[in-house]
Amino acid sequence: MVAGPSGAARAASPCAASLCVLNASAADALYVHPGSIHVTGDILVNSTNSQAALVSGATTVTAAGGTIGGPAAPAGFATSGGGSYSPAPTNQAAGTDPYAALAQCPAASACPTTPAAPYPAVNHISGNQTISPGVYTSITNLNGTLTLNPGTYVVTTGITISGGKLNGTGVTIYLACPTYPTACGPLTLGAAFTDQSGGKTTLSAPTTGAFAGFSIIADRNNTAGVSVSGNGTWITGGGTVYTAAGKLSASSGGKASFTRAVVDSIETSGSNSSQISVIPNTGTMSISLPTAASLGAAAPGGTISAALGQVTVSDGRGLATSTWTATVAATNFTTGAGTPAQTITTANVSYWSGPATSTNGTVTVTPGQSDASAKQALNSSRSAFSSTGNGNSTTSWTPALVVTIPAGAAAGTYTGTITHSVA
C-alpha cells in the first residue's frame, strides 16, 4: 500500500506509464541537468524523496498526451535555472514493477544455452562482422559495423560501442553478471551497455517469444545500467529497455530512444542536446495540425505575415530506416462570392516552415524553408519538412504564411485552407 496526499491508503498496481522510474527513495531519481526527456504518454516517478525529480537548466521534461507524477509530486518535483515540466506534476500513487513476473535468463525460453563457460568475447575493430545469439563475456565495437543475427545475446561483463555501429533486427540484449548462469546478487554491478564517441546502435526487438518487444533487459539486481554519451552518438532501441536496478542516462549530446522504459533512475546531463525519448510503437505515422489561425489585416497592396501554429509529425512505425516528407498546399483565399476582385490566389500566398521547434528520437530533420528569406509561393505543393533516421520519433515546427494582398482586392474577410500531409 502507498499513502495518498491526505494520508489515505491506496493500493499499488503495476506501473502502466511509458516511462516508469522505479526507485522508491532516491533523490533526483529523474534528473535533467541539462538535456531533455520527452515521453509520449505518462511519466511515473516512484521515489518518495523530498526531491524525487529535478529539472535544471532551460529545458523541459515532457509527457506528450500524458501525465507526470508520483507520490512526491508536486512539491518533490523540483526545478532550477528555468527548468520545467509539461504538464505540471500531479500527486499519483507509486506503481510496482510491471515486469516483475518476467522470467529472466537462463530460465526464460528465449535465453541461449550455448556456448558453455568460459564464454567468448567479441572485439570488433574494423570492417563488417556478423555474430549469432549466445552467451558472451563482452561485446566491443570500435569501428566498422557489427551485426547481430536475430535472437537473445547474454553478456556477462558489458557491451561497449565506441565509434562503430551495432545493428540488429529481432534482437534482445540481456545484461547479466560474471556469475552467470547464476543470477546477480543483490545490488551487483554487472554488465553495462555503453555507447560513446560516435557509436551508433540501431536495434529492433523480437515480435514473438518470451522477450517479444524487449530490446534491452538487465538482471533485476544489476545496477550497471545503459548509457549513451557524445554528440553524434545514439541508441535506437526499437523496443523496451528494462533495467530495474540500473540507470538509463544520456550525456554530452548523446541520444537514446526506446518504445518504453522501466528503469531504476533516469538522467540527462552535460549538454542541452542530450536526450532520452520514449515513444511507444504504434505502427503508424500521423500529423497533427492547428485547427485555425487568424492572420490579421492589411490594406490592398500590403502584406500580412503570421504564424499558423504548431505542426507535429509523430512516427511510430519503428523502422530501422525511417524517412518521411511533409508537404503543404493551399487553396485561394476568397471573400463574398469569390469574384476575381474577391480572390487572393495561391501565387500571393507564401509559406516558410522555419526550423524544428522540437525533435525527439534519433533522426535528422530538414526544414523546407529555413527562414523567411526562403519562403515559397503555394501555387503548387511544397516540401514543408523532411526527416531521415531510425526508430520512432516526433518532430514539430511552427510555420508562417506571408500573404500579399493585390492592389485591387475588395475589402472583406478572406478565408482559405492550408493543408499539410506526410508520407
Per-residue pLDDT of the chain (423 residues; tens, 9 = 90+): 333 433 444 557 999 999 999 999 999 999 999 999 999 999 999 999 999 999 999 999 999 999 999 999 999 999 999 999 999 999 999 999 999 999 999 999 999 999 999 999 999 999 999 999 999 999 999 999 999 999 999 999 999 999 999 999 999 999 999 999 999 999 999 999 999 999 999 999 999 999 999 999 999 999 999 999 999 999 999 999 999 999 999 999 999 999 999 999 999 999 999 999 999 999 999 999 998 899 999 999 999 999 999 999 999 998 888 899 999 999 999 999 999 999 999 999 999 999 999 999 999 999 999 999 999 999 999 999 999 999 999 999 999 999 999 999 999 999 999 999 999
Helices (H), 159-294: none
Report the candidate in 161, 344, 296 with the shortest Cα–Cα distance to residue 235. Answer: 161
> Would you say 412 and 370 are in contact if contact means Cβ atoms under 8 Å apart?
no
Single-letter amino acid, residue 313: V
For residue 12, what pLDDT is reported?
77
For residue 1, what pLDDT is reported?
32
Q: How many other CB atoms are found less than 10 A from the CB of residue 134?
A: 18
Sign, CA dihedral 212-24-107-155, equals positive
For residue 3, what pLDDT is reported?
39
Q: Which residues contact 143 (CB under 8 A, 6 or more apart)?
A: 124, 125, 126, 163, 164
Q: What is the 3-state secondary structure of 27-86?
A: CCCEEEECCEEEEECCEEECCCCCCCEEEECCCEEEEECCCEEECCCCCCEEEECCCEEE
Say what the pTM is: 0.89
Report the candidate in 283, 184, 195 with the shortest Cα–Cα distance to residue 237. Answer: 195
